[in-house]
Amino acid sequence: MNYTGDMFEKAVRRSGISLTVLARKLRVNRRTLYNWFRKDTISIDIIYRAAKVLGPDLFHHFPGLEQSVPKRSAAARAEDAEYWKMKYTELLEKYTELLLKIKQAS
């Protein structure tokens, strides 16, 4: 099935999130969003990226698409969160060490 930019725009606007916030979270500018809205065909990847921000309710506007999204267990999501917490802590510790070295050198 082909999904259009118009379908995508309606789904985004019904979500209630501002375009500015959505653009920031997708790491694109607002102009890119407007360009997507005007496309005859929009890639499924764009819809998936938006669903990560807007939530799975976005898929209700795209029949048949939700079934193709891989389901992840709560345990898998928790493992991901724990992984990123550890990575953040590790990076913060390295940053702190670097700041201390710079301070000692000056």
Enter the DSSP assignment of 70.
P
Q: Considering only CA atoms, which of 18, 103, 3, 100 is closest in space to residue 59?
A: 3
Q: What is the per-residue pLDDT across 13-57, written as a single tens digit (0 to 9) for each?
A: 999 999 999 999 999 999 999 999 999 998 888 888 898 888 878
**CATH (one of 1.10.260, 1.10.10, 1.20.1300, 1.20.120) for 5-68:** 1.10.260
Q: Helix, strand, or coil here: 12?
A: helix
Phi, psi (deg, nearest 5) at residue 41: -130, 130
Q: What is the per-residue pLDDT across 59-79, written as a single tens digit (0 to 9) for each?
A: 788 777 755 555 556 666 667
